Amino acid sequence: MRQHDYDIIVVGAGPAGSMAARFAAEQGVSVLMLEKDRDVGYPVRCG
């Protein structure tokens, strides 16, 4: 098994998780974003 190192792990690729991962990555941080659903952003669950 291969080992990976990340500075930040974001759980959930909804609006908040996606933005957190994006802004961290733009600062040069190593980010892993996890999402339980097959497609990111679907179904839409924000108001």
Is residue 6 within 8 Å of residue 30, measured between CB atoms? yes
Query: According to the model, what pLDDT value does residue 33 have?
Result: 95
Residue 46 resides in a domain: no
- Does 22 fall in a domain? yes
pLDDT of residue 14: 86
For residue 47, what pLDDT is reported? 60
Query: Does 43 map to a domain?
Result: no
Above 80 in pLDDT, residue 45? Answer: no
Q: What is the pTM of this model?
A: 0.76
Residue 41 domain flag = no
In a domain, 8, yes or no: yes
Question: DSSP characters for the chain?
Answer: ------SEEEE--SHHHHHHHHHHHHTT--EEEE-SSSSTT-S----
Residue 47 forms part of a structural domain: no
In a domain, 25, yes or no: yes
The domain of 25 spans: 1-31
- Please write the tens of the pLDDT for every residue from 4-38: 999 999 999 888 899 999 999 999 999 999 998 87
